[in-house]
Structure 1
Amino acid sequence: MIHSCKTLRPHHVSINIKGLFGEAEKIESRFYYIGCAYLDEQKLSAVSLYNLTREAVSAGTLKQFILELSGFFSFIINDSDVFVLASDKTRSKPLLYAFDENKKMHVSDSAIYLARKTNKQSLIPLSEQEFQQAGYVTGENTLIEDVYQVRAGHMLTSKCYGFEQVAYYKFIPMNGNKHVADEKLCMQLDDAMKAAINQLIDYAGGRQVVVPLSGGYDSRAIAVYLKQSGYPNVLTFTFGKKNSKEVLISKQVAEKLGFEWHLIEYDKKRWKVVQKSDEFEQYLSFISNYISVPNIQVYPALKALLHQKIIHRNALIVPGHTGDFVSGGHIPHQLINLKASTNIERIVDAIIAKHYKNKVKHENRDDLNIKLTDQLRRISEGQEDSLLAVSLFEAWEFYERQAKFIINSNRYYDFFKVDWWMPLWNENIIFFWQKVPLEYRLNSSLWKKFVEDKYNDISGDRLRYGNVNDHYSSPVKKIRSVFDYFTDENDLYALVPFYRWALRKIKYPHAKGSLFGYLAYKLVMKQKKQLVQKGQ
């Protein structure tokens, strides 16, 4: 996307970072640095990153330089001759921008601040539809008209004709058919995991490391490698009903690895108390930021563990985002063996069927098709004609659902001002998975075997726990899905009025009875009101 502008001089760019996703280190008003970047396993200070970025601009290698950075960060350079807004590969520290009536640019981490500063008072109808159906707004847009976001793996730079947002990184798995021995792949994956955990340990610097331990493979893998590393200060926790399969598996894994483990029990009563609190309403707006529907599952557990001082205020939370995705667990089988270039329409249909399902009725389907088609064509620019449809589907999900919904759930920790790190998005791991043949990525088959074997080896436990869902037969899964209002092991549906859930189950066209569909509807109504109030 290209934005025309009045001038490229720094006094015509206004920057106001609120510190929503971490405090910004500043060099005067020329450089802002949020989070932490590494280069060649060396942690970069603000001064180092600024100087290296300036050198890359002078050498014409800016895209390659940012590609080589790892970690979770964003930064802004606003010099007289250079302007750059850069997001890391996962958009983990969001940056937003807007232009006022004089075409002056305003940059912030707060969408409502930008709306007020530039007098924006309208929501985009298509963005509102996406927000309610998918749980996030795709592309550069936010819910607010003419307020934009820097996308994952993108940077915004100044040109003679204005500002342009360009990609420096694309998560596009090769998904080739070349056979490679799984033993060799497991050795390479082991090396990548060790590198990711070593970087995590360096960043943690002896602080308490906290792993939200689920019944799945991703958090288990992190716990296993922390055990192998010998890191001395690890705590794990799980939430849910005390006899749920997720809780029982997590407890067993923590005990076998010798880690301290805590359970925060969930029930409808706890959620009703949460729902009535002013802090929870503040949290919903904070995590949404006019882009994403909030994740809420961890909120009560994190709040309780911090209140009880079990989690230290300077702790480092290490969630398992998102091993199941990068390892191939989201590959749609109906697109296998199809070329991307001749099947864009089928990929769009697969995206909508998979990700746009919080509401029964799809308004503006033609507009949505056009938007998604344009996004897919932009992602596939410069790729070989042999690019597979499944690879393009995954690339779209990386930019959209992963960055804006899954990774955005780290706002839990930002809200409570607790630090976090995602080792499974370390570049060693994602670059590894981009090269793995399709046969090993389908259903995350290599990842599941690798984690099970590694857990058995490190823990001495001979049992293979699989994933929580592996413990239910297909008919039972179907029944649990149909009656999720009653079977949800975290009692999340305590937040949804029963009649709304029932209307959705009978496919009433305007029903908003899924958990995230209901939260999206409530937030849109609230944010519309907030936007008008801020504009007055």
Structure 2
Amino acid sequence: MNKVALYSNLGFSWNSSNNVWVKGIFFEPPEQYYSGADTLMYFEGVQSFDEFLIKLKQCNGLFSVVIIHGDEIWAAVDRNTSFPLFYFRNSLGWSITDTVDMQLMLDNKFEVDAFQVQCYKAFSHTMGAETLFKGLRQMQCGQAFLLRKASGNPEIKNYHQFSTDTFLELSEKELYQQANHIFNNTLRRLVISLEGRTAVVPLSGGFDSRWIAAGLKMQGYENVICYTYGKKSQNQDFELSKKVAERLQYPWVFVEYTDELINKSYLQSQTFQDYVQFMGHGTSMFFLQEYFAVSYLKEHKLVPDDAVFIPGHSGDLIGGSQIIKTFNPNISREEVPERFFKVKNIYQPVSKETRKKLEGQFKPWFLQRENHHPASVFEALDIQEKIAKVIFNSSLVFDFFGYEKRFPFWDLELLQFFLKLPFEHRVIKKLYDSVLINEFFKPNDLLFGKELNPRKKELLRQKVKNRIKAYFPVFIKERLLQKNDWKNYRQAVKPLQDEMKSKGYNFQFKGKSYNEILIQYYLFLIKTRLR
């Protein structure tokens, strides 16, 4: 017998009725807003899987949905996997769940997938729909799941394509005007979705979170709290974010990452152990970056229980930050697979054989998009893999502590506009930055002498530095990490490192990033608890 097992009600709760389960908030064009139990109304009358796909295409927001319709099961996650869903088959039939923990692994006797472990060490996430466990798969962003009782095997359909073969054909002036219009539409929808609750903006020194804060001010929304975290020293976000909040006249909280705040006792807490499983769920690296800040805000009651967190994910990407930095817009179709798996392999190096195996795994994916622009295909794969599984997944920290979240840069109208924008307007975020600076920052006096917004020369210079740095001895790489450790990550990961060593789980720290230790710690937990 097939089973739907949805247990996670942190941040957002599941709403269910008549074999329909929906979680999240979203808009239906043009401006119909759904939240709470109202989300069920949007899906309850659907009579076919094709109709379900149409509904998903129109859905603009954060959501996951599961429907049992006669002998079929339909399910989907949104365009950034805000609320992950998984599926597997055992002797009783197929199961769909939102909870992947050690108990699920033990109950179903899942075996660790050695190939995906290699991928996880190399990329900080598994690849494709696979997880670290054989037979357990994840639904991916922009995809829908169909299980027919007659066939017995699930079918996966794309209801959203992130790559394209057509681009907007408008003048630069028209593109600018349209971008500004869509930015304001997005902000209006964001304000509607807040329903008067406190908006909490994790304010860095960059443009993305600054736009959110400035945009809320320009929409007349005053119920806003900004916060920043990290060390006071080595922290460029500290001064810039403080200035932004002061000029917008929003309250600003700084959570200082002192050694006293981040001490080894966190490792023994049940809260942290639950957090690791909640964030990792067999596919993704868990982050510690925001963990201590959100925990502190909650513990000290600095934000209301019904507050909504609004991070800036992933504005810079749609703006064009990855162009030049990781790929050339003139990249050929043949170059995309090799370039992607090479440039995204930032942790443990993979062999040529592993890379070839990955290219084979994704060959059908590339064939489905063979008529799309190669650079657009590169970005689409980046969104499906790293952006969904690492960047957006990191925001599950807000859910874990009981808060809702919003992703205004993934508003459907905004997303579709920028991903169809000709690349010449996206290189070094040309149009994106122009609109933000002239329409949002200048009117609010939010431009400062030195910005954390690298230009083309700086990006090219950094690429050269990174190539040289790769040949440095590990001890020099570690010194460079410590020098730029504004998050006090060395202090945060040391207890993890010490525990692994005490249990005889040794690995070679390459000195590239403290994330290497987080990756290894999750694998260490799996190895020790699934014995």
Task: Tell me if TM exceeds 0.5.
Answer: yes
Structure 2 distance, partners of 1:455, 1:20, is 36
Structure 1 distance, partners of 2:308, 2:22, is 19
Q: Secondary structure in 1 aligned to 2:109?
A: coil
Whether the aligned pair in 2 keeps the contact of 1:89 and 1:169 (CA below 8 Å) is yes
Whether the aligned pair in 2 keeps the contact of 1:214 and 1:250 (CA below 8 Å) is yes
**1:136 equivalent in structure 2:** 125
Whether the aligned pair in 1 keeps the contact of 2:20 and 2:68 (CA below 8 Å) is yes
Task: Please tell me whether residue 221 in structure 1 is matched to residue 208 in structure 2.
Answer: no
**1:204: Cα distance to partner?**
0.9
**Match of 2:390, as an amino acid?**
F
Whether the aligned pair in 1 keeps the contact of 2:205 and 2:241 (CA below 8 Å) is yes
Whether the aligned pair in 1 keeps the contact of 2:20 and 2:43 (CA below 8 Å) is no
Q: Secondary structure in 1 aligned to 2:67?
A: strand
Q: Secondary structure in 1 aligned to 2:129?
A: coil
**1:292 equivalent in structure 2:** 284
**2:23 equivalent in structure 1:** 34
**2:13 equivalent in structure 1:** 23
1:381 is aligned, of 364, 368, 378, to 368
**1:281: Cα distance to partner?**
3.2
**1:158: Cα distance to partner?**
2.3
**2:321 equivalent in structure 1:** 329
Structure 1 residues 462 and 49, CA, compared in 2 at 3 Å: closer, same or farther? closer
Whether the aligned pair in 2 keeps the contact of 1:211 and 1:319 (CA below 8 Å) is yes
Which residues of 2 match residues 434-453 of structure 1 at below 5 A? 434-453=419-438
Structure 2 distance, partners of 1:109, 1:414, is 13
Which residues of 2 match residues 390-405 of structure 1 at below 5 A? 390-405=375-390
**1:58: Cα distance to partner?**
3.6
**1:233: Cα distance to partner?**
0.2
Which residues of 2 match residues 61-460 of structure 1 at below 5 A? 61-102=51-92, 104-112=93-101, 115-116=104-105, 119-159=108-148, 160-162=150-152, 163-173=154-164, 180-243=170-233, 244-273=235-264, 275-278=266-269, 279-332=271-324, 334-340=327-333, 343=334, 346-359=335-348, 361-363=349-351, 365-375=352-362, 377-381=364-368, 384=371, 387-460=372-445
Structure 2 distance, partners of 1:82, 1:51, is 20
**1:493 equivalent in structure 2:** 490
Whether the aligned pair in 2 keeps the contact of 1:209 and 1:235 (CA below 8 Å) is yes
Q: Secondary structure in 2 aligned to 1:362?
A: coil
Structure 1 residues 175 and 338, CA, compared in 2 at 3 Å: closer, same or farther? farther
User: C-alpha deviations, 1:273-324, integer Å up to 9, x for none?
Assistant: 4654413333222211111001221111111112221111110000000001
Structure 1 distance, partners of 2:160, 2:116, is 24
Q: Secondary structure in 1 aligned to 2:263?
A: helix
Structure 1 residues 213 and 380, CA, compared in 2 at 3 Å: closer, same or farther? farther
TM-score between both structures, scaled by the size of structure 1: 0.86
**1:517 equivalent in structure 2:** 516
**2:473 equivalent in structure 1:** none
**Match of 1:487, as an amino acid?**
N
Structure 1 distance, partners of 2:33, 2:238, is 36
Structure 1 residues 407 and 59, CA, compared in 2 at 3 Å: closer, same or farther? closer
Structure 2 distance, partners of 1:175, 1:165, is 24
Structure 1 residues 63 and 462, CA, compared in 2 at 3 Å: closer, same or farther? closer
**Match of 2:350, as an amino acid?**
H
Deviates more, 1:371-380 or 1:122-131: 371-380
Q: Secondary structure in 2 aligned to 1:483?
A: helix
Q: Secondary structure in 2 aligned to 1:196?
A: helix
**1:484: Cα distance to partner?**
1.3
**1:368: Cα distance to partner?**
3.9
Structure 2 distance, partners of 1:424, 1:238, is 20
Q: Secondary structure in 2 aligned to 1:111?
A: coil
Structure 2 distance, partners of 1:84, 1:312, is 36
Q: Secondary structure in 1 aligned to 2:262?
A: helix
Structure 1 residues 174 and 510, CA, compared in 2 at 3 Å: closer, same or farther? farther
**1:271: Cα distance to partner?**
2.8
Residue-pair matches, total:
504
Structure 1 distance, partners of 2:124, 2:53, is 30
**Match of 1:429, as an amino acid?**
L
Structure 1 distance, partners of 2:5, 2:85, is 11
**1:270: Cα distance to partner?**
3.1
**Match of 2:141, as an amino acid?**
A
Deviates more, 1:182-191 or 1:108-117: 108-117
Whether the aligned pair in 2 keeps the contact of 1:84 and 1:156 (CA below 8 Å) is yes
Structure 2 distance, partners of 1:188, 1:20, is 38
Structure 1 residues 191 and 151, CA, compared in 2 at 3 Å: closer, same or farther? same
Structure 1 residues 339 and 62, CA, compared in 2 at 3 Å: closer, same or farther? farther
User: C-alpha deviations, 1:401-444, integer Å up to 9, x for none?
Assistant: 01110000111111101111111100011011022111111122
Whether the aligned pair in 1 keeps the contact of 2:116 and 2:132 (CA below 8 Å) is yes
Deviates more, 1:221-230 or 1:458-467: 458-467
Structure 1 distance, partners of 2:199, 2:37, is 28
**1:175: Cα distance to partner?**
8.0
Q: CA RMSD in A?
A: 3.1
Structure 2 distance, partners of 1:299, 1:314, is 18
Q: Secondary structure in 1 aligned to 2:426?
A: helix
User: C-alpha deviations, 1:95-151, integer Å up to 9, x for none?
Assistant: 11111124x011111123784486233110111111111111121111111011111
Whether the aligned pair in 1 keeps the contact of 2:323 and 2:427 (CA below 8 Å) is yes
Structure 1 distance, partners of 2:37, 2:262, is 45
**1:50: Cα distance to partner?**
4.8
User: C-alpha deviations, 1:485-523, integer Å up to 9, x for none?
Assistant: 23221121224459x89xxxxxx9954543111111111
**1:469: Cα distance to partner?**
5.4
Structure 1 distance, partners of 2:4, 2:282, is 19
Structure 1 distance, partners of 2:200, 2:458, is 29
Q: Which runs of 5+ in 1 are unaligned?
A: 1-11, 502-507
User: C-alpha deviations, 1:155-183, integer Å up to 9, x for none?
Assistant: 1112342321221112115585x774333
Deviates more, 1:260-269 or 1:398-407: 260-269
Q: Secondary structure in 2 aligned to 1:270?
A: coil
Whether the aligned pair in 2 keeps the contact of 1:120 and 1:146 (CA below 8 Å) is no
Whether the aligned pair in 2 keeps the contact of 1:379 and 1:396 (CA below 8 Å) is no
**Match of 1:266, as an amino acid?**
Y
Whether the aligned pair in 2 keeps the contact of 1:133 and 1:517 (CA below 8 Å) is no
Structure 1 residues 114 and 251, CA, compared in 2 at 3 Å: closer, same or farther? same
User: C-alpha deviations, 1:203-260, integer Å up to 9, x for none?
Assistant: 1111000000011111011111101000120110111222422111111111112211
Structure 2 distance, partners of 1:230, 1:142, is 44
